[in-house]
A and B are shown apart, each in its own frame.
Chain A
Amino acid sequence: MVRFENVGLRYGLGPEILRDLSFMIPAHSFQFLTGPSGAGKTSLLKLLFLSLRPTRGLVNLFGHDVSLLSKDEIANLRKRIGIVLQDFRLLDHMTTYENVALPFRVMGRDESSYRREVIDLLKWVGLGERMDALPPILSGGEKQRAAIARAVISRPHLLLADEPTGNVDPTLGRRLLRLFIELNKSGTAVVIATHDINLMDQYEARRLVLHQGRLHIYE
């Protein structure tokens, strides 16, 4: 599904922050991406999401060499990827329901075809009562759950999550992890970037550890 070969990344003329990354993310797989702060986890997620281009090396996503893709083709590939960022990126002028339904709306689907699905997921993540609330009045944890719901609603082939349990209590963290596991069982490859050792200890999965720009894989 994803293949990196000798990938390097630098910002501008600065030093290389990711070096010689060579790894694969198979379909239906589950992995944690971890490492100390500043190791480049978010940059690696951005490479996987195609919002950054590598300075060198080959990135192959869903069978496409990303260096050869046009902007439209990248937009189409992104429809198969869900992403949860640390800063949530919810649209403040839209309700929680509208934010979560956004991927379907962009696909041009009729609202009646997905309304039930969105409501059920919102209830599942504990936002059933906050469907009509605007993001500015949601707590940090609620925003995080809304962002996760938006990333998983369209059942992406690949889910990328950056510290998805950073703002929630341990109980809810376990609940969200279960959501990711369920999603993985239904066919989505999952990459969770996290510092949270407790979270990683709760589920036996492959670990990608970034250290000083290099990647070490523990199967």
Chain B
Amino acid sequence: MARNTSPIVPRSSIAGRALVAVVAIMTFLASMTTGAVLLVSASAAEWQSDVASEITVQVRPAQGRDLEHDTQAVADAMRGQAGIVDVRPFTKEESDKLLEPWLGTGISFDELPVPRVIVAQVQPGAELDLAALRSRVTQVTPTASVDDHRAWIDRMRSMTGATVFAGVGILALVTIATIISVSFATRGAMAASRPIVEVLHFVGAGDRYIASRFLRHFLMLGLQGGMIGGGAAMLVFGFSESIAGWFSGTPVGDQFAALLGTFSLRPSGYLALAAQAVMIAAITAWASRRTLFATLDDIE
């Protein structure tokens, strides 16, 4: 029967629980950041493609002109433009309805100079000649103006960019904080295990042999922390989908749904979170290895 059952480095010499908690919290924060960035970028990409596939023409009423006739003429002119696949002029009732959220119901809009809106769908991937469309439309009706939502798209693009940039910044900070915490924990463990290291040196163990005994512990602790933190973040994203479902139909729920979609991460998002948890475990192992060799150099 084997009598060598004790590990060379006792597990109790490493402040394991505290380190697992630190790595778990860091992984959770990193995963939440990554998940949020993925959600925002996916939603922003959706809005952008929706908005970019549409252009709106506004026909303003003017004295001595027939708004109904002008709207029809502009719609016909648009249909002849290459790259436009569908044109839908809003009727007077539909246009009035657009104002209801601001002015309320029960008001007669007949006296108000309500402009008419024409929405056109652009063929996906087609290069639309906006200048030609503008001149064509204004030739038909001087009071018409074309809006391709460029300002919106630009704003959205910069907002998404800023979100991703902030996310990457937070990830970098979390990674640095993880490395620092792990280095401190390793140094603490090495200080507590100094007598063991000295004895191992006495019996002829090299630094690589000693480091490997400690490293195994740290890698396991890193993996444990990564799994707990990453798993908790995945649960949060999984449950948030159900929670969003409970609120659907309420004003708050609808606002969120309009802004961020269903809150659901795609399978690739979950894969990214899992990969991130493994990466943080690897960073834990790397940081402790670096500290181990630096500390071993000081112990004769």
CB within 8 Å of B: which residues of A?
49, 51-52, 71-72, 75-76, 78-81, 83, 85, 89-91, 93-95, 97-98, 101-103, 105-107, 111, 115, 131-132, 150
Given contacts A75-B205, A101-B4, contact A93 B199 (CB under 8 A): no
Contact indicator per residue, chain B 1-36, by CB within 8 Å of chain A (1) or not (0): 011111010101000000000000000000000000
**B1 shortest CB reach to chain A, Å:** 9
State how many residues of chain B have any CB contact under 8 Å with chain A.
24
- Which of B2, B196, B202 has its CB near the most chain A CB atoms (within 10 A)? B202
**A116 shortest CB reach to chain B, Å:** 11
B206 contacts chain A at the CB level, 8 A cutoff: yes
- CB pair A94 B209 closer than 8 Å: no
B250-300 contacts to A, CB under 8 A, are: 297, 300
**A91 shortest CB reach to chain B, Å:** 6
A189 to B147, CA, bound (A): 96
- CB pair B3 A106 closer than 8 Å: no
Given contacts A76-B206, A106-B205, contact A98 B199 (CB under 8 A): no
- What B residues does A107 contact at CB under 8 A? 204
**Which one, B2, B12, B208, B209, contacts A111 given CB within 8 A?**
B2
- Which of B5, B6, B12 has its CB near the most chain A CB atoms (within 10 A)? B6
- CB pair A111 B200 closer than 8 Å: no
A142 to B265, CA, bound (A): 64
A93 to B12, CA, bound (A): 10
- CB pair A91 B199 closer than 8 Å: yes
B245 contacts chain A at the CB level, 8 A cutoff: no
- CB pair A89 B195 closer than 8 Å: yes
Residue contacts A-B, CB under 8 angstroms, 26 given: A49-B202, A71-B206, A72-B206, A75-B201, A75-B204, A75-B205, A78-B202, A78-B203, A80-B204, A85-B202, A89-B198, A91-B199, A95-B6, A97-B3, A98-B3, A98-B4, A101-B3, A102-B8, A103-B203, A106-B203, A106-B205, A107-B204, A111-B2, A111-B4, A131-B3, A132-B3
Residue of A nearest to B296 (CB): A71
- CB pair A106 B207 closer than 8 Å: no
- CB pair A52 B300 closer than 8 Å: yes
Task: Pick the 9 closest A-B CB pairs, nearest first.
Answer: A79-B204, A75-B206, A78-B204, A103-B203, A93-B10, A106-B205, A51-B300, A94-B6, A89-B199
**B271 shortest CB reach to chain A, Å:** 39
**B190 shortest CB reach to chain A, Å:** 16
**A133 shortest CB reach to chain B, Å:** 13
- What A residues does B201 contact at CB under 8 A? 51, 75, 78
Beyond A102-B203, A105-B4, A106-B209, 20 extra complex contacts between A and B, CB < 8 Å: A51-B201, A72-B208, A75-B206, A76-B206, A78-B201, A79-B203, A81-B204, A85-B202, A89-B195, A89-B202, A94-B6, A95-B3, A97-B4, A102-B8, A103-B203, A106-B204, A106-B205, A107-B204, A111-B2, A150-B203
B141-192 contacts to A, CB under 8 A, are: none
**A90 shortest CB reach to chain B, Å:** 8
- What B residues does A101 contact at CB under 8 A? 3-4
- Which of A52, A93, A105 has its CB near the most chain B CB atoms (within 10 A)? A93
- CB pair A106 B4 closer than 8 Å: no
Given contacts A91-B196, A95-B3, A98-B4, contact A83 B202 (CB under 8 A): yes
B195-232 contacts to A, CB under 8 A, are: 195-196, 198-209
B79-106 contacts to A, CB under 8 A, are: none
**A196 shortest CB reach to chain B, Å:** 23
A81 to B203, CA, bound (A): 8
- What B residues does A85 contact at CB under 8 A? 202
**A63 shortest CB reach to chain B, Å:** 18
Given contacts A89-B199, A89-B202, contact A72 B207 (CB under 8 A): yes
**A134 shortest CB reach to chain B, Å:** 9
**A73 shortest CB reach to chain B, Å:** 9
**A146 shortest CB reach to chain B, Å:** 12
A76 to B209, CA, bound (A): 12
A203 to B204, CA, bound (A): 30
A93 to B300, CA, bound (A): 21
**B192 shortest CB reach to chain A, Å:** 12
Residue of A nearest to B198 (CB): A89
**B187 shortest CB reach to chain A, Å:** 19
- What A residues does B205 contact at CB under 8 A? 75, 106
**A54 shortest CB reach to chain B, Å:** 14
